[in-house]
Each structure stands twice: as structure tokens, then as C-alpha cells.
Chains A and B, each alone.
Chain A
Amino acid sequence: MKALTSSRFSAFIPFLVAAAVLFVLAPAVLSDFRLNLLARYLCFAIVAVGIGLAWGSGGMLTLGQGVFFGLGAYAMGLHMKLDDAGPGRAPDYMPPTTDFLPGWVEMFRSGIVTIVAIALLPALVALVLGLATFKRKVRGAYFAILSQALAAAFALLIIVLGSQSGNYTNGTNGLNNFRSFFGYDLDDPANQKMLFFIAAGFLLVMVAIARQLRNSRYGELLRACQSSEERVRFLGYDPANVKVVAYVIAAAMAGIGGALFVPVVGIITPLDVGVAPSIAMLIGVAIGGRGTLWGPVLGAIGVAWAQSTLSEQFPAFWTYIQGALFIVVIAFLPGGIAGVGAAIRNARGRWDDRRRGRTDPPAANPVETVKHDVGSMA
């Protein structure tokens, strides 16, 4: 163990580097267009921080983050459309004869309500879902399948709410053609840059929150739940509550990521919130290293960047790459790139052990052993 001062300093360095890259380097070297793309990646990185917490530390495979992302995004999208329309008017995608909007649409006219709803709405839904599943000890596989089913149902719900009876969400077309973001003209490049800085600022804050949680007593409890819920129970804690907290925080982060996505990208459609986008949000986290603090952030940005760049050159090829990434990373590198070093050390250690004539090889990586434990306990 190093001295306290040096560990204090080293914890600060990544934040400093990240801040320097995002606030100084990126705006200096990137064109407006590329900076806007990076802002989009940062939105997914914010979601990834939450997934890292729930999945990496808590062992919950959150396959339905698209729901929370969508709740945040549609809250923001509805607000921006209502704001553009002006007081008392319906957004332009609704029939011009619309003179009454239901309360759940009308409430997003208020900026304050929207800002609160962006984090609170996903958090509330996650709270209900989390309590319902974790209290009933629905774990692992069931939780994953139910999350997926909910993501599918949510995307359909958005479409249904945008169809015949009243076009509140604009159906498959989604919400777009925004003019302003809280009064700021979205066509102004200066404001686009501002959005980038907002996304970058939120990302750093989210990582700081995740770091606090991971390093606190709560973080230890959460990891303990991943390895053995029964033992946590014996210690007098309710594992359901511990897990719900991480799930709710992850949901709120996904909501914030979704809300920022809308002004940055300028459009949100049901295609951005269903099953496939929900699963796609996981791959960056897995590659970067689900159990680490910065891994999910870097992984999410890297994957999003690779997708826009590679798909420019080889449109159909990206799907193969994405599929191969899932297979290679999850099956062979569960620790992600961050785990490569550990895997090599492990392999070398195993080889050394064998040379020394030991028979019981250590597990290939920590994640694997953890899962094994859960399987035998449940």
C-alpha cells in the first residue's frame, strides 16, 4: 500500500486528464461536426457509468436500460417540442386542431418539471421494478429476460402513444426538428459546443458519483451481494435494498444520458429505445471492463466511435464486428480490456504454478468465480 497522499493524488489524475481532454483538447482539435459526434458518444458513456455500477459492481445484467434512456429522452424531447410551440400550443407534429393535451404531456411544458422528471421518472420506474423483482428474489436469468421484454413493450408503447387516438409521441417518426434548448438556438454552433460541454460535465459528475459509491461501505455491500446474497443476508442487510439502490441510480443515469442525447443528436425515435439498443449499450461496458470505474466510459465511447467510423467504410460489416465483440469479450475476456492484464498475469501465474507442480489452477478471472458462486447459492 502506498502512502495516503500519493493514492489521493493518483485518484485525482484520471479526472484531471479527462477534464483536460474534454474541455481543452477536444474542442481545439475537432471540427464542429466531430465534436457533436463526440457529444453523442458522451451521452452513451453516461449510460455506461450506470451500467458499470449495476452490472459490474452489482452483478445485475441490466438489459432494459433503453427504457430509462427513452424515458429521459422523451421527457426532454416533449419539453423541447412544447417549448418550441409556444405557450398553450400543441407541438407541430400534432394535428393543428389539437386544443387539449393530457396532463402527462402538458407537464413537460415546464422546464423545471422536465429536469426533475429526467432523473426521477426512470428512477421511480426502476424502483418499482427493482423492488418487485429483487424482493421476490427473481434473480439473474429471469431479471434479464423480464428487462428485455419490458424494453420491447416500451418501444411498442411509444409507438402506440403516437398513433391513431392521439399523436403524443409522433410514433415511429419520433421527435425531431427542435429549434431551441431552454431558449438557446440549436442552430448556433456556439450552443452546440455548449451542449458538448454540458454532456462532458455531466459525465465527469456521474463518474465521480460512481466512484464515491464504489469506494464507500455501500460499494462493498454491493459487491458482496454479487458474490453471495445469502452471506449479505446473514450479516443483517437486505440484499434486495442494496441492489435496488444501484439499479435506481443506473436508471437515473440512463435517463440523463437519454435527455442529453435529444438536443445533441436532434432526434429520438422508438428505434433508439428498444431491445437492440438496450443490449448494444452493454457491449462498450463489457469491452472497457465492467468492474472498473473508467472502463465503461472508455468502452462506450470507443464502441460508438468505431460504429460511426467503421460503418462509413463497411456498412454491413459493423454487425459482424459487433457480434464478434460480444462473443470474444464476454466468452474469453469477461474483465474487458482492463482485465487483459489480469488475465495475462493469471495465465503466467498458472504456468508458474504448473512448473512448480501445483495441481489446482486458480480461476481464470474474478468475474467467473463470482458467477459460479451465485449459481450454487441461489
Chain B
Amino acid sequence: MKHTRRNITSAGLLGLTAVLVLTACGSKITPQAGGSTTTSSSAGSATPAAAGASCVDTSGDSVKIGFLNSLSGTMAISEKTVQESLMMAADEINAAGGVLGKQLEVVAEDGASEPATFAEKATKLIQSDCVAAVFGGWTSSSRKAMLPVFESNDALLYYPVQYEGLESSKNIFYTGATTNQQILPALDYLKEQGVTSLFLVGSDYVFPQTANKEIKAWAAANGMEIKGEEYVPLASGADFSTIITKVKDSGAGAVFNTLNGDANVSFFKEYRNVGLAADTMPVVSVSIAEEEVSGVGVENLVGQLTAWNYYQTLDTPANKKFVEDFKAKYGDDRVTSDPMEAAYTSMYLWKNTVEKGKSFAVADIQANAGGVSFEAPEGTVTINGDNHHIAKTALIGKVAEDGLIYTEWTSPAPIEPDPYLTTYPWAAGLS
């Protein structure tokens, strides 16, 4: 026994020494002046010595692109639709001759609805598969998890979902709406309709919390009263009884709903059960699209409002073709939604940017992106070269008996993206 002990200890020591020897290598970070905090936008500028040259191979007849969506876990149903419309875009582009004459070769990975997996798979797509660009992500946490990966590897992500704003990275293109293209128009619309007070209900995570912070700042400047603000845990099984009682007792003019996923079902059921209705206290939702309507139950949603930049019912030639093609490819009973359209659009924007600069290189895409536009199903969209968001038209819609959403109100023109709300005086204290 005694002898073994000595040996084992020495084995441990061996390991430790090895570690100690090896710690000697590797570069240290030199403290920057004032120890600057790395906000997402500035992190990219601290160009890492490490990333090395990109391994993307554009010498052959094809070029690889990566799709990173959750195919398993809680977000699978939503993100799968995004992947389908990305796939459709890739097929269309390939059928029309590819990008710069090269066929697209898709590498699809599963984010499994976990931020850590998104980070892992993003690294794999960039370092191991050497893709030219990645399309995907849905939840804010998946985007936040991928952001440092794309910045440190100096690669590109096209993110197709509306989000809470206050972010911009030179390595991400945001093709969904930022706050001033979705939430602010919805608030303006409510004000126009004579609503004077709001109740805020959301899931307990970053999007609702940030969105509500912005709504409160807007409300203070616009004479809108906030009657209450409630959050429910993201995990399913939340009980809405207490919250709905608070909503009902508040007598607010409207409810602003930033709940996520299935919580919407419980919320709207309870909302009807206590005798509330769309004509007395309407609910504006920013996370319920065509895809979610059937899940929540059309009967629970009829007459309620949504805020997006695209609806399946839009009457544009590009949309007619988009909806037709999608149904032909995936089935007649399928619907199209805003994130699907934004994903589809994102690939064409990437294609147009690549073709404008005749290069797949990240730096060239970043340099040429400004002003690139596309006749999207939602209308003409244009990339803003400064913040990598796109100009979009805001649409307030109403859920109808057939489960589709019809436009009630349209912003007069495409709204320029302003993720940090710098052009709104009331938002000064937010970021």
C-alpha cells in the first residue's frame, strides 16, 4: 500500500508539473488603457492575433455555407421552419447558377436549443467545416452565445429573428427587426388608437426585460401609463392565474405581450376565462406569428394584434411566389412567417453582397454590404452598412378566423434600423 501511494502521488505531481511547464506558453492580454469594457461592438475591434487566416476554400465549383438552427429541444419547431426556408433559398440560388458561378454546399448543424451548443457548433462550422457564412440562431441567448465566436474567428453570421436591439457587431447581419422597427411602431399605433395605459407581460429572459425597459422609457415620454409589469419563468408549467388577476384588476387600455412560446397558450386561455376580450383590452404580441397561431388556438387569438414586418397575406409579387414555392416544397397546409421570410431574405442579401464585391471574403462583404438591397417578400429591404441591420416596413396585424394575420396598419415607409435608439431623445439613458 505505502509504495503505491508514493507512486500515485508522483503521478499526480507529474501531471501538475506538466501543467506548470505548459502554462509558460501562450500570449497574455495586455491591459488596455482604462481597462476598457468589451461591449459587443468594440470586442471585434480588438483584433485577435489568434484567429489566423480563414480556411474557407473558394477555389472549386462550390462554396460551403452553414445552417445553425435548433432541430431538437424546445425551440425545434420554430427553428426548423427557418431552416426549411433557408434550404429553399439555397436550392433556388443553386438552380439559378449559384453565387459567382459556384454552387452552394450546405452544412447543417443542430443547436439543440442550448446556448452552449450553439457556441460549440458555430466553432465547428467555422474552424472545422470552413463555411463562408453561417445562417441561423433564434433566441437572444443563442445569438449572444455565438457572437464572441464569430467575432474572435472573424466570420459571418446572418441572424433572421426580431430581437431586443442594443447590439451591433461587424460580424453579424441582423435581418429581423430591431426595436424601432417593431415595438416602437406598435406603441405608436396603440397611442394613435387612443390607448392611454399598458400592462406589460413577458417571459423571464433578456428579450422581454430589455423590450420592457424601452417601452417604459417610451411611455414616460409619451404620457402612457404603465399599470404593471409581470414576468413568468421560461420553463413551461407557469400558472397565469395570479398574473391575469393583476392584469384584469389593473384596467389597463392594452396588454403588451412579450411572452415566449407555449406560455402564450396558458396566458390567452386564462385571459378569456376571466372574461377579458380583444375589443375591451387588446393584447399586442411580438412573438406570435402564423406558425404559432395554431398552437395557441385560433379561437383564443381572434381579434388580437401582432407586430411584425411580414405576414403571409401580404400582397406583393415576391410574396406570392415565396408562399407558393414554400407550399409546393413543404406542403399545402404550411404557413410562412416573419422569421422564415427574414431567413430567406438573409441569404439573398448575402448573395447580392458577395456578387457586388465579387468576393466571398469576410472583409469584402463587410466593406460592400452598405446599400445592398433585395426585392424581398416583405418589400424592398436594404442593408445599413453602419449597423448591419436592414431597413424594414413595420406592419401591425390582426389575427383572423382562418388563423392568418391581416395587415391593419403599415408604416409610411421602410424604417431605418436604429438598434441603439440614438435618434430617440427619450432613450438616452438606455444603453
In the complex they form, whether A and B have CB atoms below 8 Å apart is answered with: yes
A185: chain B residues at CB < 8 Å are 26-29, 48-50
A2 at the interface (CB under 8 A from B): no
CB distance B37 to A265 under 8 Å?
A: no
- Cα A179 to Cα B4 in complex, Å, equals 42
User: In the complex, what residues of A have CB within 8 A of residue B50's CB?
Assistant: 185, 187-189
- A328 lies within 8 A of chain B by Cβ: no
Per-residue interface assignment for chain B, residues 144 to 178, with 1 indicating a CB less than 8 Å from any chain A CB and 0 otherwise: 11011100100000000000000000000000000
Q: Which residues of B have CB within 8 Å of A164?
A: 209, 231
Check B25 against A8 for contact (C-beta < 8 Å). no
Indicate which residue in B22, B35, B233, B431 contacts A87 across the interface (CB closer than 8 Å): B35
Residues of A contacting B367 in the complex (Cβ-Cβ under 8 angstroms): none
Q: In the complex, which of the residues B29, B35, B39, B114 has the most CB atoms of chain A within 10 Å of its own CB atom?
A: B29
Mark A51-85 against chain B: 1 for CB-CB distance below 8 A, else 0: 00000000000000000000000000000000011
Residues 194-247 of A at the B interface (beta carbon under 8 Å)? 194, 197-198, 200-202, 204-205, 208-209, 211-212, 215
User: Number of B residues whose C-beta is below 8 Å from A?
Assistant: 69
How many residues belonging to A are interface residues under a CB distance threshold of 8 Å?
Answer: 76
Q: Given the complex, which residues of B lie within 8 Å of A319, measured CB to CB?
A: 72
CB-CB nearest in chain B for A190: B26
Provided the pairs A208-B9, A265-B116, A267-B119 are in contact, do residues A177 and B29 lie with their beta carbons within 8 angstroms? no
CA distance A78 to B189 in the complex (A): 42
Contact with A along B88-132 (1 / 0, CB 8 A): 000000000000000000000110101110011001100110000
Contact in complex: B25, A204 (CB < 8 Å) = no
- Please state if B204 and A184 are interface contacts (CB–CB under 8 Å): no
* Complex contacts, B326 vs chain A, CB 8 Å: none
Contact B204 A159 (CB under 8 A): yes
Are A212 and B26 also in contact (CB < 8 A) when A85-B37, A163-B231, A265-B116 are? no
- The 8 A CB mask of A96-135 against B (1 = contact, 0 = none) is 1100000000000000000000000000000000000000
B199 to chain A, nearest CB (A): 16
B22, A197: Cβ atoms under 8 Å? yes
Of residues 277 through 294 on chain A, the ones whose CB sits less than 8 Å from some CB of chain B are: none
Q: Which one of A139-147, A309-317, A343-351 contacts B?
A: A309-317
State whether the Cβ of B1 lies closer than 8 Å to any Cβ in chain A.
yes
Chain B residue with minimal CB distance to A177? Answer: B148
* Chain A residues near B221 (CB-CB < 8 A): none
CB distance from B84 to the nearest CB of A (A): 14
User: Across the interface, do A269 and B37 meet the contact criterion of CB distance under 8 Å?
Assistant: no
Given contacts A16-B11, A187-B50, A189-B50, contact A172 B29 (CB under 8 A): no
How far, in Å, is A246 (CB) from chain B's closest CB? 18
Query: Closest CB of chain B to A40's CB: distance in Å?
Result: 8
B423 lies within 8 A of chain A by Cβ: no
Assembly CA distance A11 to B7 (angstroms): 8
Contact A184 B120 (CB under 8 A): no
Q: Are B112 and A311 in contact (CB-based, < 8 A)?
A: yes
Q: Check if B25 sits within 8 Å of A174, measured CB to CB.
A: no
A162 vs chain B, min Cβ distance (A)? 9
Whether the pair B124, A173 counts as a contact (CB closer than 8 A) is no
- Chain B residues near A179 (CB-CB < 8 A): 29, 38, 43, 46
Which of chain A's residues 26-44 have a Cβ closer than 8 Å to chain B? 31-34, 36-37, 40
Please give the distance in Å from B212's CB to the nearest CB on chain A: 9
Asked if A92 contacts B39 (CB within 8 A), the reply is yes
Minimal beta-carbon separation of A15 from chain B (angstroms) = 4
Whole-angstrom distance between the alpha carbons of A319 and B110 in the complex? 13
Name the A residues within 8 Å of B363 (CB-CB).
none
Q: A8-B4, A271-B116, A315-B71 are contacts. A171–B205 as well, Cβ < 8 Å?
A: yes
User: Which residues of chain A come closer than 8 Å to B116, judged between CB atoms?
Assistant: 174, 265, 267-269, 271-272
B141 in the interface, Cβ–Cβ < 8 Å? yes
A190 to B36, CA, bound (A): 24
Contact between B27 and A190, CB atoms less than 8 A apart: yes
Query: A197-B19, A271-B116 are contacts. A184–B5 as well, Cβ < 8 Å?
Result: no
Q: Quick check: is A89 within 8 A (CB to CB) of the other chain?
A: yes
Using A184-B29, A188-B27, A188-B50 as known contacts, say yes or no to A89 and B19 having CB atoms under 8 A apart: no
Instruction: Decide if B8 is an interface residue (CB 8 Å cutoff).
Output: yes
A194, B234: Cα distance in complex, Å: 37
**A89, B128: Cβ atoms under 8 Å?**
no
Q: Cβ of B297 < 8 Å from any Cβ of A?
A: no
**Contact of A23 with B by CB under 8 A:** yes
A183→B29 contact, CB < 8 A: yes
A266 interface hit (Cβ, 8 Å): yes
B77 shortest CB reach to chain A, Å? 12
Residues in A whose Cβ lies below 8 Å from that of B413: none
Closest to B23 in A: A194
* Cross-chain contact B16 with A315 (CB below 8 angstroms): no
Query: CA–CA, A311 to B72, complex, Å?
Result: 9
CA separation between A162 and B40, bound complex, in Å? 19
Contact with B along A338-373 (1 / 0, CB 8 A): 000000000000000000000000000000000000
Asked if residues A177 and B26 are in contact (CB atoms below 8 Å), the reply is no
User: In the bound complex, how far is the Cα of B5 from the Cα of A327, in angstroms?
Assistant: 38
B34 contacts A by Cβ under 8 Å: yes
Q: Is B119's CB under 8 angstroms from A201's CB?
A: no
Besides A92-B38, A163-B204, A215-B1, 10 new A-B residue pairs in contact (Cβ under 8 A), listed by A number: A86-B31, A159-B204, A172-B234, A176-B148, A177-B38, A185-B49, A187-B152, A190-B27, A205-B15, A266-B119
14 pairs from A and B in contact (CB 8 Å cutoff): A11-B8, A16-B11, A84-B37, A86-B31, A87-B35, A92-B39, A97-B429, A176-B145, A177-B43, A179-B38, A267-B145, A269-B114, A271-B115, A316-B72
A residues lining the B interface (CB < 8 Å):
4, 7-8, 11-12, 15-16, 19, 23, 31-34, 36-37, 40, 84-87, 89-92, 96-97, 156, 159, 163-164, 171-174, 176-180, 183-191, 193-194, 197-198, 200-202, 204-205, 208-209, 211-212, 215, 265-269, 271-272, 308, 311-312, 315-316, 318-319
Nearest 10 A/B pairs, CB to CB: A86-B35, A191-B26, A315-B110, A187-B48, A201-B19, A187-B50, A15-B11, A190-B26, A204-B15, A315-B71
